Amino acid sequence: MDLGGRHVDNHFADILREDGLIFSSTSEMEIVREIKEHVSHVQLDPLSPTNYHRSYELPDGNVINIGNQTYRCAETLFNSNLPHEYGIQQLVDQSIKECIEISKLFPEDGDIPPLDILLVGGSTKMPGLEKRLAKELTKLKTPFRNVIGANDRSNYTWLQGATIAPHLESMNLTWMTRSEVNIFLFGKTKGGKSTLCNVLSGTEDYEEGNLSKSTTTNHQLGKNYNVDELELFLMDTIGFGDTGIDPKELIKKTAAAILDFNGGINVFIFVYESCFGKVERDALDMLKDTLFADQAIINHILIVRTKFEDFDDPSACDADIAALNGIEHFAPYHQCPVAHVDNRTYKIDPGGAARAQSRVIILNHIRQRFIHSSYNPNLDQLMHRVDSWKTVEERLEDQRQETLRLEMEVRLREEEANMRLEQQRLEALVREKEERQRQLEDIKRNLGQYIKSSVALESTKAHVDQLQDKIVKEIADLGGNPFLRAVFKNLDQKKV
């Protein structure tokens, strides 16, 4: 029986409408799922009146109040007045009774003891489920002992599988393996990603938008589908282009979608319509350079051109690929296979024949090229790259700041050099002044000595004059010797 979390979400969205709370698009259904995880529970007796209210803050900050829908949503699991035929209690009852019937085929093994029922899987985490299931099974007189919630229920199946995996060889069992294909769809908004998800899954789980606004505007959770012996894990994403979403936010949301993959990604399906231009190239570059910084990613990209009316005409497809190879923006991705589809709406193509054909085309590509290997991103490095990623504007601003910083540095260096020159000039002036000072001191000193010498000379001269006068007088006293008079006369002349 296909009954689980998605049914609870859908029923929850239906009954929230009673309070005027409308959630319908793919992204809004994610919000419903989150509300369910936070506020829902399973009532032991859904008919007993309760006055139950829980509040929940929506991503836009609005707080909503939810009444009995918090437990009514889980009633879909028990088929209380709901459209499907069985509830989980009937399924469990049937399984246990079948086990007992089978055990009767092996009487030598004795009767099987009363069974414990172990709840596993994310949808079983709603508080109160164990007790309610036990109550319903008792009503059905199911032979069981306890209903137990497994630890780590979301991963329990895988964990248990992992514990027996090492013994498989010795158990000599032949196991059938299902081919799991992890698919990440991305591309420009309104290109047809969600439609392709519907086509591949054969469902209408994804909201196909109108052509005037972006539809998938929030991070999606991947979903599993069994399709033609393949187990597809599909991840629809927010479109690039005119989504009005901040590019940084978009990169973060795209990275968050990648983090949801358990294990590798087999194929990145890049969806585009009509022409391959710069937006398309930027979106692929974002994957190759920004998120993974790895050329090898090219081996895991399938390019899908949607809305291609002649998709069933091989020569038209070949001609389109030839034209694509002539486009400069496409050059880095020319090795990637290109598929053409036309997922016409049911209005145009009520039988969905074109969609069915598209599915075969894409699955063939997947089988031929992508099923056997997957790309395992290094998630730590991915987050690091996302955190340090900058928009073109931010990068330009960084460059502008760097240029300003360099200009400032050059100016400072020039000023420093000028100051050094000025200082050197000042030092030279000081040195010259000191030199002049020294010279002046020398001159003063010499002048002093000169003055002293002059004074000495004057006094010597005065002394000589006195001596001369004295001599003259003494000579005059000596009388009138003609020879001496001539000498005196001569001396007088010299004196003059």
Ligand X SMILES: Nc1nc2c(ncn2[C@@H]2O[C@H](COP(=O)(O)OP(=O)(O)OP(=O)(O)O)[C@@H](O)[C@H]2O)c(=O)[nH]1
Q: Which does 124 bind (CB under 5 to 8 A by kind): Mg ion, ligand X, none?
A: none
Interface with Mg ion, residue 215, by CB under 5 A = yes
> Which partner in Mg ion, ligand X, none is near 211 (CB below 5 to 8 A by kind)?
ligand X
Q: Which of 120, 143, 114, 119 is nearest to 132 (CA)?
A: 119
Q: Which phi and psi angles does 29 have, rounded to 5°?
A: -65, -30
Task: Give the span between the Cα atoms of 257 and 457, in whole angstroms.
Answer: 113
C-beta closer to ligand X: residue 87 or 187? 187
Torsion of Cα atoms, 211 then 217 then 222 then 223, to 10°: -50
Of residues 3, 156, 191, 339, which one binds ligand X by CB under 6 A?
191
Residue nearest to Mg ion (CB): 216
Q: Rounded to whole angstroms, what are the CA distances from 277 to 5, 243, 247, 324? A: 40, 17, 18, 10
The residues, any chain, with a CB within 8 Å of residue 491's CB and separated by 6 or more, are: 468, 472
Residue 75 binds which entry of Mg ion, ligand X, none, CB below 5-8 Å type-dependent: none
Binding flags for Mg ion, 265-294, as an x/- string (CB under 5 A): ------------------------------
Q: Rounded to whole angstroms, how far apart are CA atoms 280 and 187?
A: 7
Q: Does 182 bind Mg ion (CB under 5 A)?
A: no
H or E, element range at 105: none
Which residue, 144 or 225, is less far from Mg ion as judged by CB? Answer: 225
Give yes or no for residue 216 binding Mg ion (CB under 5 A): yes
307 binds ligand X (CB under 6 A): yes
Please identify which residue in the block is written with the tokens 């919630």: 149
CB of 192 to ligand X, least distance (A): 3
Residue 235 lies near ligand X (rule: CB under 6 A): no
Q: Which residue lies nearer to Mg ion by CB, 70 or 194?
A: 194
Q: Which of residues 198-217 bind ligand X (CB under 6 A)?
A: 208-211, 214-216
For position 198 contacting Mg ion by CB under 5 A, the verdict is: no
Number of residues that bind ligand X (CB under 6 A): 22
Residue 257 beta carbon to Mg ion: minimum distance, rounded to whole angstroms: 12
Candidate ranges 157-165, 167-175, 341-349, 434-442; the one touching ligand X (CB under 6 A)? 341-349
Matching residue, tokens 């879909």:
76
Q: How far is the CB of 348 from ligand X (least distance, A)?
A: 7
Asked if 109 and 22 touch (Cβ cutoff 8 Å), the reply is no
Nearer to ligand X, 190 or 219 (CB): 190
Residue 263 in contact with residue 182, Cβ under 8 Å? yes
Q: Shortest CA distance to 329 belongs to which of 272, 396, 250? A: 272
One DSSP character per residue, 73-84 reads TTHHHHTSS-SS
* Contacted entry of ligand X, Mg ion, none for residue 69, CB cut-off 5 to 8 Å set by kind: none
**Residue 7 binding partner per list ligand X, Mg ion, none, with a CB distance cut-off of 5 to 8 Å that depends on partner kind:** none
Nearest distance from C-beta of residue 22 to ligand X, angstroms: 19
Query: What separation in angstroms does the CA of 48 have from each of 79, 273, 427?
Result: 17, 55, 100
**Element (DSSP H or E) covering residue 321:** helix 314-325
> Residue 147: helix, strand or coil by DSSP?
strand
Q: Please tell me whether residue 220 binds Mg ion under the rule CB under 5 A.
A: no
Q: Where are the beta strands (DSSP E) in 260-356?
A: 267-273, 301-306, 338-340
Which is nearer to ligand X, 156 or 308 (by Cβ)? 308
| Cross-strand bridge partners of residue 271 | 187, 304
**Residue closer to Mg ion (CB basis): 75 or 236:** 236
201 binds, among Mg ion, ligand X, none (CB under 5 to 8 A by kind): none
Residues in contact with ligand X by CB under 6 A are 189-195, 208-211, 214-216, 239, 306-307, 341-345
